[in-house]
């Protein structure tokens, strides 16, 4: 494995870690709202969250490229603030990855929260616990497997991204070049040994992640895959 591939692997892991942390912070309250609300907006919001599951990555990447570019509303705002455009940067990759991997965080958490039920919360309320304390002391411990699954799936999905990160970040060594793009480059250059090495590593990594997810779900007897559109019906 070349030093360049090591650098690419490190950048990919940094991207996956940043995306996972951000999505756990953002996805937790969103999944809790979806699990508890009866608002008319629940179904449209759920469908919007699940959209990356069926939308071609290049479509999402194209619209993000427009929005984050110099003529897009986000790009114009960041330029006005003196930040510059976010396209073809690590920050742009993080934004794209957060949007693209959102359902892989929200769905397992939504499923875990839906399994908690009202009784544990009612008991905590009778003991004087505030809504925040109920969530932290009751919901989070009971939904531990959902958090583990969400983190694992989000991390693994981010590691395997290709279309979105290529559209937003391009292929800049040391800045936006991730493992999936490196494999594509090696194949184009007919460097099959490097492509085999990286592909086999990702294959084993993905298999290990799925084993962890399945073992977690089996121990807790809790489903981690749900349909956000029809949940809570």
Assigned domain for 225 exists: no
Assigned domain for 101 exists: yes
What does the pLDDT read at residue 3? Answer: 80
Helix/strand/coil for 150: helix
Assigned domain for 114 exists: yes
Q: What is the mean pLDDT of each run of 10 residues along the chain (233 residues)?
A: 85 96 97 93 94 93 94 93 92 96 96 90 89 92 94 95 92 91 93 92 93 76 43 39
What does the pLDDT read at residue 219? Answer: 61
Residue 74: give its domain's CATH number.
Answer: 1.10.3720.10
Whether 42 and 114 have beta carbons less than 8 Å apart is answered as: no
What does the pLDDT read at residue 225? Answer: 42
Assigned domain for 187 exists: yes
Structural domain for 127, as ranges: 3-220
Burial string for 96-116 (b: 16+ CB within 10 Å, else e) reads bbbbbbbbbbbbbbbbbbbbb
Assigned domain for 229 exists: no
Assigned domain for 230 exists: no
CA distances from 194 to 6, 190, 198 (A): 12, 9, 6
How far is the C-alpha of 26 from the C-alpha of 7, rounded, in Å? 29
Contacts of 123 (CB under 8 A, 6+ apart): none
Assigned domain for 232 exists: no
The total of structural domains in the chain comes to: 1
């Amino acid at each position: 494995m070349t030093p360049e591939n090591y650098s690419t692997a490190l950048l990919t892991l940094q991207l996956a870690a940043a995306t996972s942390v951000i999505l756990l912070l953002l996805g937790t309250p969103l999944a809790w709202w979806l699990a508890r609300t009866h608002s008319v907006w629940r179904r449209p919001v759920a469908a919007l969250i699940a959209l990356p599951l069926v939308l071609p990555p290049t479509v999402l990447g194209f619209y993000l490229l427009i929005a984050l570019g110099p003529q897009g509303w986000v790009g114009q705002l960041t330029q006005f603030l003196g930040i510059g455009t976010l396209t073809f940067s690590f920050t742009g990759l993080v934004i794209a990855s957060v949007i693209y991997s959102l359902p892989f965080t929200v769905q397992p958490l939504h499923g875990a929260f839906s399994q908690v039920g009202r009784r544990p919360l009612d008991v905590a309320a009778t003991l004087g616990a505030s809504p925040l304390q109920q969530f932290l002391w009751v919901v989070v411990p009971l939904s531990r497997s959902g958090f583990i699954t969400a983190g694992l799936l989000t991390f693994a999905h981010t590691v395997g991204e290709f279309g979105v990160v290529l559209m937003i970040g391009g292929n800049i060594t040391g800045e936006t070049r991730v493992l999936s793009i490196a494999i594509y480059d090696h194949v184009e250059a007919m460097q099959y040994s490097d492509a085999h090495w990286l592909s086999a590593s990702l294959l084993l990594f993905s298999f290990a992640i799925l084993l962890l997810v399945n073992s977690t779900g089996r121990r807790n007897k809790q489903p981690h895959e749900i349909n956000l559109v029809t949940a809570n019906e």
